[in-house]
């Protein structure tokens, strides 16, 4: 009798010795990781050159599951950590992989400043509209009227429209997909790897345990049906028009794809202009190692 | 190994402590700094921003101290020697990342040019009131090393030492300056690069499939790898095992946290730097550090002129606290006099180490200026009785 030997093509990208993962049934984060791995496969990128940095939260755990140089940092600070990593080692492709609360609330200041500086980072923001790890509290992305553990009578704070925010701050690539759009998401991640500068991909993702359940929006599968039915692909849509509501349309697509010099190009040009031959390029191997 | 000559400004200079600290960092091999402006520390990174492009490195001014204190750690894992510089309010914001550096064993240096506090306090005037914060400011149990210069020359020398300790023990090292030391200008001699010993990073020589990021070879300090070298390692602020993987058991916590403490405790004799003078047969010993030690020097001289047997013990290393030396001295001295620019911080450590065998007398000062030598002298005279 022959043994059926089938392995998932994304397995080589995962720390399989850390499975099972902590994510709930129906959670979308695993789907985004699958898309990320497929984007790496398709882009044929040298895995040694990829470093992944996460903050804290459910999506923050991605760093622990990918077989890459991976950093699980502090809450909100994945982007500044990634900034230091990229500047010290420019050859790296640095990916920031974190959640909406981590990146846009506690880390919101770093998000806009990294976009302003146009640091060459690929930011994947899994937006489940809530603080999930801590039990489903209101996030800056929670749509109006949604019930959360800290908004038991419904959310009344206006939410961030993240694509609009990062475009205004200076990102060169901005896209949004849902976890229903696996092909499109993988393609966008691949495109971000081709861009030099601050790229931001928002992935709308279900949290059946805390967001969908509390708001009587069904389970993971129901959410997929909602994403399928209510998503409208509008490439190039003005980001001012892509804000989210609890049950309304979800505008997805590639909203921004533009070029402007990234931080390191600007730094180099300025130093050469001011210092000429006195400028010494930072060396790749910075520290004297034993 | 010896310092890279490109970063060493060999010669005799007239520098303030902040600038000397910057030159020490460059001499030690620091090629990355992330900072946020704050008085009275900003001159360190201003000089670094001017100097590092012609040496080969990067300065980035971040949006706040939360960012600066973690950006530098990203740079360390990218291969750089890196540091940040701040003062009290910024130091408060950096506390979480001092804990992250301790937990992930990221070798790096935090410079705190102390000013009066709490809160905005006295931005342009000195204090030494962050000493306990340097040791205990981040949550959880951990150990750090803290050094305390009392002159621009020492700002240079101890910045080099701080980077060396950081690399040797893979620990965040605090350089606890104060406003006076930071802003006073004196002669600073920067030696030839061949005369500056620099501790290289403890980079692993193991192949990727043999490398365990947090296993140690007996001395409690693991070997490091950098991103992009093919090791595919994981770093986390969560409690982790030797593979660097999160592990939420009391056993893993116990093993890790005890090692983070013992790697410093066990080497305390080597880390402890003290300046001692006239301790033999002294009735009274003045324990001081930083700018206060310069004032104490005058008081000690005056006391000796009047025939009192007074010893000087200057703490160059404040953390780990040199409790063994204090304990030895408590067997023979009558009293310890401890002037400091706070209302009683390191004096508590002195009192604890003496274990009641000698009297401990605090000379508190809320900051904003330095002590008057007469105040220290008066305490010495009273303690000698």
Boundary of a domain, candidates B144, B161, B195: B195
B238/A72 touch (CB, cutoff 8 Å), yes or no: yes
pLDDT confidence of residue B151: 98
Question: Which of B70, B82, B240 best tests the A interface by mutation, with the highest count of A CBs <10 A?
Answer: B70
Cross-strand pairs, B82: B32
Q: How far is CA A85 from CA A1, A71, A79, B79, in A?
A: 51, 10, 10, 8
Boundary of a domain, candidates B169, B195, B221: B195
**Calpha distance A262→A116 (Å, rounded):** 10
- Nearest CA to CA, how far is A238 from chain B (Å)? 28
pLDDT confidence of residue A288: 56
pLDDT confidence of residue A171: 98
Per-residue pLDDT averaged across A189-216, rounded? 98
**Calpha distance B43→A71 (Å, rounded):** 32
List pLDDT tens digits, range A41-69.
999 999 999 999 999 999 999 999 999 99
Q: Are residues B48 and B145 in the same domain?
A: yes
B198/A288 touch (CB, cutoff 8 Å), yes or no: yes
**Beta strands at A50-54 and A69-72: parallel, antiparallel or unpaired:** parallel
A15/B234 touch (CB, cutoff 8 Å), yes or no: yes
Question: What are chain A's domains?
Answer: 14-278 (3.40.50.970)
Residue B11 belongs to domain spanning: 5-195
**Is residue B264 assigned to a domain?**
no
Q: Give the dihedral of Cα atoms A45, A48, B105, A76; nearest 10 deg.
A: 0
Say if residue B85's pLDDT is above 90: yes
Mean pLDDT of the residues in chain A: 96
- Nearest CA to CA, how far is B261 from chain A (Å)? 21
List pLDDT tens digits, range A78-123.
999 999 999 999 999 999 999 999 999 999 999 999 999 999 999 9
Cross-strand pairs, A52: A70, A95
Q: Where are the alpha helices (DSSP H) in chain B?
A: 17-28, 42-51, 65-77, 88-104, 131-136, 152-169, 179-183, 250-265, 268-271, 291-305, 323-330, 346-354, 373-384
**Is residue B282 assigned to a domain?**
yes
**B2 DSSP assignment:** B
CATH at residue B359? 3.40.50.920
**Is residue B228 assigned to a domain?**
no
**Calpha distance B314→B291 (Å, rounded):** 11
Q: Which of A69, A87, A280 sits opposite B233 (nearest CB)?
A: A69
- Measured in degrees and rounded to the nearest 5, phi and psi for residue A72 equal -100, 105
Contact B56, B4 (CB under 8 A): no
pLDDT confidence of residue A283: 78
**Is residue B237 assigned to a domain?**
no
Q: Are residues B178 and B290 in the same domain?
A: no
Mean pLDDT of the residues in chain B: 98
- Nearest CA to CA, how far is A229 from chain B (Å)? 39
Q: Would an 8 Å CB–CB cutoff place B234 in contact with chain A? A: yes
**Calpha distance B371→B378 (Å, rounded):** 12
**Is residue B253 assigned to a domain?**
no
CB atoms within 10 A of CB A269: 11
Q: Which of B71, B202, B232 sits opposite A84 (nearest CB)?
A: B71
Q: Which two tokens stand for residue B277?
A: 């003078």
Boundary of a domain, candidates B160, B195, B230: B195
Given pLDDT bands bounded at 50, 70 and 90, which one contains residue A287? low
B80/A286 touch (CB, cutoff 8 Å), yes or no: yes
pLDDT confidence of residue B291: 98
Q: How far is CA A26 from CA A31, A218, A220, B287, in A?
A: 10, 11, 4, 63
Q: Are residues B285 and B191 in the same domain?
A: no
Q: Are residues B146 and B31 in the same domain?
A: yes
**Is residue B261 assigned to a domain?**
no
pLDDT confidence of residue A190: 98
Per-residue pLDDT averaged across B114-123, rounded? 98
As a whole-number percent, the residues of chain B with pLDDT over 70 amount to 100
- Nearest CA to CA, how far is A215 from chain B (Å)? 32
Per-residue pLDDT averaged across B273-297, rounded? 98
- Nearest CA to CA, how far is A153 from chain B (Å)? 34
Contact B70, A83 (CB under 8 A): no
A85/B238 touch (CB, cutoff 8 Å), yes or no: no
**Calpha distance B323→B325 (Å, rounded):** 5
Say if residue A126's pLDDT is above 70: yes
Q: Are residues B184 and B295 in the same domain?
A: no
Q: Where are the alpha helices (DSSP H) in A105-214?
A: 108-117, 162-169, 182-194, 213-214
A289/B200 touch (CB, cutoff 8 Å), yes or no: yes
Q: Would an 8 Å CB–CB cutoff place A87 in contact with chain B? A: yes
CATH at residue B26? 3.40.50.970
Greater confidence (A233 vs A290) lies with A233
List pLDDT tens digits, range B202-222.
999 999 999 999 999 778 999
B74/A82 touch (CB, cutoff 8 Å), yes or no: yes
pLDDT confidence of residue A4: 76
Given pLDDT bands bounded at 50, 70 and 90, which one contains residue B1? very high
Contact A236, A173 (CB under 8 A): no
**Calpha distance B190→A190 (Å, rounded):** 50
Contact B82, B108 (CB under 8 A): yes
pLDDT confidence of residue B143: 98
Chain A / chain B CB contacts < 8 angstroms: 176
**Calpha distance B292→B289 (Å, rounded):** 6
Q: Are residues B81 and B179 in the same domain?
A: yes
For A22, the closest chain B residue by CA position comes to B246
Q: Would an 8 Å CB–CB cutoff place B334 in contact with chain A? A: no
Query: How many domains are contained in chain B?
Result: 2
Q: Which two tokens stand for residue B17?
A: 């402590």
Tell me the CB-side half-sphere exposure of residue A251, using CA atoms within 13 A. Answer: 19
- Nearest CA to CA, how far is B332 from chain A (Å)? 44
Q: Are residues B171 and B283 in the same domain?
A: no
Contact B57, B30 (CB under 8 A): yes
pLDDT confidence of residue B217: 78
**Is residue B207 assigned to a domain?**
no
Q: By CB neighbour count within 10 A (0-12 exposed, 13-18 middle, 19+ buried), where does A81 fall?
A: buried
The ipTM, to two decimals, is 0.98
**Calpha distance B3→B214 (Å, rounded):** 28
Q: Are residues B15 and B139 in the same domain?
A: yes
Q: Would an 8 Å CB–CB cutoff place B227 in contact with chain A? A: yes
Say if residue A26's pLDDT is above 60: yes
A70/B66 touch (CB, cutoff 8 Å), yes or no: no
- Measured in degrees and rounded to the nearest 5, phi and psi for residue A288 equal -85, 110
Say if residue A6's pLDDT is above 90: no
pLDDT confidence of residue A132: 97
For A14, the closest chain B residue by CA position comes to B232
Cα three-residue angle B329-B333-B334, rounded to 5 degrees: 145
Contacts of A83 in chain B (CB under 8 A): 60, 62, 67, 71, 74
Q: Are residues B189 and B284 in the same domain?
A: no
- Nearest CA to CA, how far is B189 from chain A (Å)? 24
**Is residue B113 assigned to a domain?**
yes
A88/B80 touch (CB, cutoff 8 Å), yes or no: yes
Q: Would an 8 Å CB–CB cutoff place B238 in contact with chain A? A: yes
pLDDT confidence of residue A286: 57
B66/A48 touch (CB, cutoff 8 Å), yes or no: no
Q: Would an 8 Å CB–CB cutoff place B64 in contact with chain A? A: yes
Q: Are residues B34 and B174 in the same domain?
A: yes
Cα three-residue angle B102-B108-B113, rounded to 5 degrees: 100
Q: Are residues B25 and B132 in the same domain?
A: yes
Give the A window 249-288 contacts with B, CB below 8 Å: 267, 271, 275, 278-288
Q: Which two tokens stand for residue A33?
A: 């990781």
Place of tokens 């846009």: A104
- Nearest CA to CA, how far is A69 from chain B (Å)? 4
């Amino acid at each position: 009798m022959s043994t059926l030997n089938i392995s998932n093509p994304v397995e080589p990208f995962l720390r399989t010795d850390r499975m099972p993962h902590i994510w709930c049934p129906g959670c979308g984060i695993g789907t985004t990781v699958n898309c990320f791995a497929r984007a790496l496969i398709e882009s044929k990128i040298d895995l040694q050159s990829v470093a992944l940095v996460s903050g804290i939260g459910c999506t923050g755990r991605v760093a622990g599951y990918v077989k890459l140089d991976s950093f699980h940092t502090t809450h909100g600070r994945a982007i500044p950590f990634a900034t230091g990593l990229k500047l010290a080692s420019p050859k790296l492709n640095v990916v920031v992989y974190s959640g909406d609360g981590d990146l846009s609330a506690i880390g919101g200041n770093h998000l806009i400043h990294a976009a302003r500086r146009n640091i060459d980072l690929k930011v994947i923001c899994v937006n489940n509209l809530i603080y999930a790890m801590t039990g489903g509290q209101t996030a800056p992305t929670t749509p109006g009227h949604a019930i959360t553990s800290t908004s038991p009578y419904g959310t009344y704070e206006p939410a961030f429209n993240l694509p609009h925010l990062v475009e205004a701050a200076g990102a060169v690539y901005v896209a949004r997909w849902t976890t229903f759009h696996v092909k499109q998401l993988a393609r966008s991640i691949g495109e971000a790897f081709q861009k030099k500068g601050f790229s931001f991909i928002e992935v709308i993702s279900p949290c059946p345990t805390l967001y969908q359940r509390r708001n009587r929006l069904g389970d993971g599968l129901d959410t997929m049906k909602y994403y399928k039915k209510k998503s409208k692909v509008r490439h190039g849509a003005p980001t001012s028009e892509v804000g989210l509501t609890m049950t309304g349309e979800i505008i997805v697509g590639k909203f921004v794809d533009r070029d402007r010099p990234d931080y390191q190009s600007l730094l180099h040009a300025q130093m050469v202009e001011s210092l000429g031959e006195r400028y010494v390029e930072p060396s790749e191997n910075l520290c004297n190692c034993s | 190994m010896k310092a890279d000559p490109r970063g060493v400004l060999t010669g005799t200079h007239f520098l303030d402590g902040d600038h000397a600290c910057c030159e020490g960092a460059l001499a030690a091999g620091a090629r990355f700094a992330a900072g946020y402006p704050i008085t009275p520390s900003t001159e360190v990174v201003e000089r670094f921003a001017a100097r590092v492009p012609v040496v080969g490195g990067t300065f980035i001014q971040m949006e706040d101290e939360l960012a600066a204190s973690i950006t530098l750690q990203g740079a360390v894992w990218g291969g750089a020697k890196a540091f940040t510089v701040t003062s009290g309010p910024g130091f408060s914001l950096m506390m979480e990342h001092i804990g992250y550096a301790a937990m992930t064993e990221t070798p790096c240096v935090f410079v705190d040019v102390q000013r009066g506090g709490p809160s905005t306090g006295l931005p342009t005037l000195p204090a030494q009131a962050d000493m306990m914060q340097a040791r205990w400011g981040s949550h959880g149990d951990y150990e750090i090393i803290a050094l305390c210069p009392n002159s621009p020359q020492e700002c240079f020398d101890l910045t080099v030492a701080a980077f060396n300790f950081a690399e040797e023990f893979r620990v965040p090292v605090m350089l606890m300056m104060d406003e006076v030391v930071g802003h006073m200008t004196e002669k600073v001699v920067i030696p030839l690069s061949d005369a500056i010993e620099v501790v290289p990073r403890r980079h692993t020589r193991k192949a990727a499939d043999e490398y365990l990021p947090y296993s140690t070879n007996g001395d409690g300090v693991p070997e490091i790898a950098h991103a992009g070298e093919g090791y595919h390692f994981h770093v986390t602020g969560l409690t982790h095992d030797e593979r660097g993987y999160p592990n939420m058991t009391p056993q893993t916590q116990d093993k890790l946290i005890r090692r983070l403490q013992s790697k410093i405790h066990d080497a305390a004799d080597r880390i402890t730097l003290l300046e001692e003078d006239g301790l033999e047969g002294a009735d009274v010993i003045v324990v001081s550090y930083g700018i206060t030690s310069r004032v104490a020097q005058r008081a000690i001289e005056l006391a000796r002129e009047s025939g009192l047997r007074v010893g000087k013990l200057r703490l160059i290393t404040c953390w780990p606290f040199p409790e063994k030396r204090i304990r030895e001295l408590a067997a023979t001295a009558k009293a310890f006099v401890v002037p400091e620019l706070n209302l009683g911080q390191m004096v508590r450590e002195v009192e604890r180490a003496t274990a009641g065998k000698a009297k401990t007398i605090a000379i508190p000062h809320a900051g904003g200026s330095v002590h008057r030598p007469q105040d220290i002298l008066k305490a010495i005279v009273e303690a000698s009785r």
